[in-house]
Amino acid sequence: MADLILKNCKTITNDIVNLIIEDGKIKEIKKELLHSDNTSDETIDIKEKIIIPGLIDTHVHLRDPGLTHKEDWKSGSQAASHGGYTTVIDMPNTIPPTDTLKSFKEKKEIALKKSYVDFALHAGVKTRKDVQEILTENPASYKIFMDLYEIDELYEMFSYVSETKKPLSLHCEDKNLVDYNIKTLSSNPDNNNKTISYSYARSALAELISVNRAIEFAKKLNLQIHLCHISTRQTLELIREARTSVNVTIEATPHHLFLDNSTYETYGIKAKTNPPLRDKNYNISIGCLKEFDSIGTDHAPHTLEEKQKDTWSSAAGIPGLEVTIPLLLTEVNNNRLTLEEIVRLTSHNPARIFNIPNKGKIDVGFDADITVLDMKKEGKINLDNFYTNGKYSPFENRYYKGSNVMTINRGNVICDENVVIKNLCKYIY
């Protein structure tokens, strides 16, 4: 007997279908339901709203363990569910960082107890021994923040990961240039309360240099690399040329797609993030998405106290899990983006890039991870509805048309409108 039937679902190709779900997986997709099909424990009439595969966010910072005053697995995964996400992959820069087998397993156990959505973990890179030990737990990828290391250290770390045959996710900013720019610009007291100076300190050139170095290392080591939050059109040009010789995929974030550094003049220091928002002469936009492989929110909440300091000491990071889909669907309604592109960037490709089994498609045998969309729902981004502990957003009060209205994870409704429902998560590997 089926556990759940979703009837009258509209696909992105405008077909009306019914999904029969059993044991958390899609058992059948039928145009017509027979009388014999109506034996499920529960039937939900989707009323011809659009269904897409459950969203996969491969770039979140849920801050747990060690930084739970900012966020934890409960609040962060509730935000994910509320935002239409059924799977998240957490970054390793917690306390302790997940760069040893012990810390990796400890974070995994914490998430299994608290998370409302399915999850995986990116691993940090410490020593060759640690990298190999973590491999036994099947991390989604290894992650290096290139702005923290010298060139010789980076090459050694890249070589450790190349031995695992796992992807290497990268934050690409050149350490030496960033350090020099920050030292120079911070020496002028006028810049202490001028947030736009931060975008010049962590410059577009710093990203370009770092990406070029990552491509060269990956070429030498035959390494699959995934470049996080690419923020400039100049970097896109470099990557376009490199794709013929390097296995490279790239991610966009909502804040780099929809904002530029003029946002600092209106929203101030709370819009500070790494890499920073870019000048209009360099920034990416919705029109660039055809060149990207995925959208990651880079959900990175902090307390308001940590955010509201001066240019240099304020924490860098923006919550993104609960704003991304309304922003993207508004672009669909404005005919600047298609639902097919959204599915490619938020489901199909994330599952492919990180080799996530049974997710990323609405198909027989796949996990019944479904995000239901209402393309007519409209309103303004409202912080009062946020589940994340990070109660700030440069998108606050921004108009949207089109939103997720239901999230289903392995056949369990985990969010209905704005109400998040407890769910038993699983580690996806």
Q: Would you please indicate which residues are annotated as catalytic (active-site) residues?
A: 298
Q: Which of 315, 240, 309 is nearest to 274 (CA)?
A: 315
Alpha-carbon span 169 to 224, nearest angstrom: 9
Q: Is 363 helix (H, G, I), strand (E, B) or coil?
A: coil
Q: Compute the C-alpha angle 16/376/117, nearest 5°.
A: 75
Beta-sheet strands, E only, within 91-188: 118-121, 123-124, 142-145, 168-171
- Reading the block at residue 20, the tokens are 């029969």
Segment holding 20, helix H or strand E:
strand 16-22
Q: Beta strand 370-380 with 50-53: parallel, antiparallel or unpaired?
A: antiparallel
Helix axes 204-221, 175-186, angle to 10 degrees: 160
Check: CB of residue 338 under 8 Å from CB of residue 221.
Answer: no
Q: How far apart are the first and last CA of the chain?
A: 27
Alpha-carbon span 31 to 17, nearest angstrom: 5
Please give the radius of gyration of the chain, using alpha carbons only, rounded to the nearest integer. 21
> 396 exposed, middle or buried (CB, 10 Å; 0-12, 13-18, 19+)?
middle
Check: CB of residue 167 under 8 Å from CB of residue 120.
Answer: no
- Name the residue with tokens 């145009």: 31
Largest CA distance in the chain: 75
Q: Is 354 helix (H, G, I), strand (E, B) or coil?
A: coil
Nearest-10 Cα torsion for 93, 97, 101, 103: -110
